[in-house]
Amino acid sequence: MFIGGYVSASGLGLSCPDWPLCPNGLLPDDEFFIEWVHRFIAATTGSLIIATTVGVWLNKRSDGKIKITSTLATVFVITQITLGALVIEAKLHAVLVAIHLGIGILLFAMTLLTAIFAFRMARQQVIAKV
C-alpha cells in the first residue's frame, strides 16, 4: 500500500504500460522501477496470502474466524491484482483507482485480523500445554 501510494502520488502509474509483465519481461528497468516493485510486492504478497489460507484450512485447530478472514484476504488479493490490470487498461480511471485503494484497505484489515487470530491460536496452544 505504501509503494502504491508512492506510485500514485508521483504520477508513475503508467510508467509500465503492459500487463502482466513490464516491457523488460521479469526484469526491472530504470524507466519503470517503482511500478515494477509495486507489482513484485503484489505477486509476493498474493502468494503468501494464498499459502496462509491453504495452511489455515489444512490446520485442524483453525476456528471459523480465522477461516473467514484468511479466505476473504485471498478473495481481496485476487480482486486487487485483477483490478490493478484494469487500472492500467483504463489509463488510471479515477473510480477504479479509488476502488483499488478501498480493496487495499479491506485486504490489509483481513490480513491483520488473520495474523491476530493466528497468534491467539498459538498462545492458546501454549496455555493448554502448561
Q: How far apart are CA 5 and CA 2, in angstroms?
A: 5
Per rule CB under 6 A, is residue 13 in the interface with ligand HEM? yes
CA dihedral 52, 58, 62, 65 (to 10 degrees): 60
Per rule CB under 6 A, is residue 88 in the interface with ligand HEM? yes
Q: How far apart are CA 22 and CA 32, in angstroms?
A: 8
Smallest gap from residue 103 Cβ to ligand HEM (A): 8
Question: Which residue's CB is nearer to ligand HEM, number 93 or number 123?
Answer: 93
In the complex, the residues that contact ligand HEM under the rule CB under 6 A are 1, 4-5, 7-8, 13, 38-39, 42, 45-46, 77, 80-81, 84-85, 87-88, 92, 97, 100-101, 104, 107
